Every structure is written in C-alpha cells, then in structure tokens.
Amino acid sequence: MRDERARLVYEAARRHRRGDSTRSIARALGIARKTVQRMLDDIDKRRDEGDDALAIAERDRRRNCDLRSDGRAAARGDSPEAVEDDAPGAGVG
C-alpha cells in the first residue's frame, strides 16, 4: 500500500512538473482531483521545508529494485528463475 501511494505521488508530481492540469492527472491516475491537489500541496509544503519529494521517491524506487542480468530493473522478491526466464537468449537451444 505504501509503495503504491509513493508511486502515485511520484507520478502526480512528474505530470504536474510536465505541465499537466490537476484534472488530467486525476483522470490518468484514476483518483479524485482533490486527492491530486492534496498530494501536490503536500509536496509543496515538504519542499518549502527543504525536502524534495521527487528525489525521495526516486531514491526509494531505486532502493526497492535490483538490476537483472540484462540491465532492466527487477522487483525484489522475483524468483531467480523468473529473472533467468526473461533474460535474452533464455530457452534458445
């Protein structure tokens, strides 16, 4: 749940920085406009206090990922077999 919320906040902030309206962000993410506005207000408040929400979200995202053998990110908890099955050339032979 916490990771999902962090992804929503990150995506809302990214879209807002890109210039999207609150309404279009809400539609794209499937959440209420008020929720988007609260997220953006919270980000502004944290930034005013010296905190960068985008940097924190990106750091947390990187912390929760491993790099697979092909350089793509794999979520923690992926089985080694799943990572190997997705590797280039897997199953060729």
Residues 57-75: tens digit of each pLDDT: 777 777 766 555 555 555 5
pLDDT of residue 83: 47
Show the domain range for 87: 1-93
pLDDT of residue 15: 96
Domain count of the fold of the chain: 1
The three-state secondary structure class of 13 is helix
Contact 15, 76 (CB under 8 A): no
- pTM of the full structure: 0.53
Stretch (H or E) spanning 44: helix 33-48
| pLDDT, block means (10 residues), the chain with 93 residues | 86 95 96 96 86 70 62 52 50 51
pLDDT of residue 34: 97
